Amino acid sequence: KKEVIKKDTKDFENHISPKYEEIALDLENQLANLDGGYEKLTTTISKQGEQWHREIDIVINKMKTELSEIKEKHRDILQKHLNEIKQIQSLIKETLKTIRKIEKSTEVSSTIEYSSKIREFSKLPPKVQVSLPTFIPKPIDHEKLYSLFGQITPLSTATEENVLSLNQPTISVRELLDEPELVVAIQTGHEHLRSVACLNEDRIWTSGETNDIKCLNIKGSLVRTFKIKSEEKPNDVAVDSNGKLLYCDGTDGTVNIVKNGQTEELITLPKWTPGNLCVTSTGDLLVTMFSDDETQSKVVRYSGSTEKQTIQFDDEGKPLYSGNNNTKYITENRNHDICVADYGAGAVVVVNQDGKLRWRYTGHPSVTKYNPFQPWGITTDSQSHVLTADTENHCIHILDQNGQFLHYIDNCDLENPFGLCVDNNDNLFVCEFNNVKKIKYIK
């Protein structure tokens, strides 16, 4: 009994009591940060209001300018008709003057030669009535206005089961290789290869600057070629959990899925162009896109063809992504973070599944990497590592899930790496100019 009591005392002191203290401290921290969090939300709402006021002022000024232009056109129409009438009036005065002169004259010839102008001037010009334009105010739909302004998400209470293990086993973690190994280089037949997606451990889909997407096996044998509808290149390719091919077509603003060899439009984007895409662990589709005027970029989550979430601004209302048409490869990490390689910003931008900014990575100082960090492809592995292609420096950066630099892959004769993907065994596939390299980088 004494031994049991001694063991229980040790468990209470070393395991149970500290765990409860940890839980209590976490709740106290959440309470302490509560006011600050809500103040940030209030500030964000106020900024959105200010933005709306600015936009409304722009609309009002635009309408005033439009009204001034209509007024000048109205004036020109009336003035034109008035000038025509005055010209006729002048002719009538001249005619009347001539008639009176003939009337008083004793000359026979002028009287005989007189021709009546009454019929000519009796045909009156049409009466011109140019009506003023009208302004028809649209009724304010308060519910629609509220939904357009924004949305406050309901409270989300996540309960994570606390498991207390008094004899904690050591967690097996796969370590990175000091020297990554080149397994095979696959010749694709593409020129300007851009994207790669793993179909399974033996096959990959690849796309480049032409309108054909190729399925190849690890030996480099062509399994299948699929040509997209347009004559232009696909912006990106992905594979869903059922093995179906998806691709972005920037020419007509669509995201397409290939079923039984036939293309089916999944998403059509008016005023936006889809750039890159990935399939999430839940089967959703994440698509990066830019506006037609190339001033805005955002990430949109879709379930099938239905839009579920838009990620564009941080808590302060500032854009998360650079506003341009530059490539923005995207992937989802194992913790459901959404990772975007923003080439134009020179950064990897990572938000959580709610769209809240977690971290930015802008490169790692190194004496061997001379060019600015501008990431292209991005992918993640079973250890929640984030891997991104640094094309200008001919290497791959490996980060942990919190954005801390871990390692470079700068051997394997890498040259201008672009698109990336990782298979289920954590083998890395890297697009180069016209081939794909399979690299083993993890033990």
Residues 274 and 268: their CA atoms lie apart, in Å, by 9
Pick from 153, 138, 124: which is nearest to 44 by CA? 153
The rounded distance, in Å, linking the Cα atoms of 403 and 405 is 6
Q: Is the dihedral of CA 208, 213, 214, 218 positive or negative?
A: positive
Range 18-24 average pLDDT: 89
Q: Who has greater pLDDT, 158 or 36?
A: 36
Cα end-to-end span (Å), the chain: 47
The reported pLDDT for the residue numbered 154 is 67
Q: What pLDDT does residue 142 have?
A: 83
pLDDT band at 172 (very low <50, low <70, confident <90, very high): low
> Can you give the pLDDT at residue 156?
57
Enumerate the β-bridge partners of residue 407.
Answer: 398
Contacts of 90 (CB under 8 A, 6+ apart): none
How far apart (Å, rounded) are the C-alpha atoms in residues 439 and 182?
Answer: 5
Say whether pLDDT at 166 is over 90: no
Q: What average pLDDT score do residues 176-189 get?
A: 92
Across the beta sheet with 285-291, what order do the strands follow? Answer: 272-279, 285-291, 297-303, 306-311
Q: Residue 330: pLDDT above 90?
A: yes
Report residue 206 as tokens. Answer: 């690849």
Residue 355 CB contacts under 8 Å (≥ 6 apart), including other chains: 299, 309, 310, 311, 338
**Res. 335: pLDDT tops 60:** yes
| Residue 168 pLDDT | 45
pLDDT single digits (tens) 93-148: 999 999 898 888 888 888 888 888 888 888 888 888 888 888 888 888 888 888 78
* Reported pTM: 0.63
From CA 344, how far away is CA 341, in angstroms rounded? 9
Q: Do the beta carbons of residue 235 and residue 275 sit within 8 Å?
A: yes
Q: How far apart, in whole angstroms, are the C-alpha atoms of residue 108 and residue 99?
A: 14
- Please say if the pLDDT value at position 184 is more than 50: yes
User: How far is 367 from 376, CA to CA, in rounded Å?
Assistant: 21
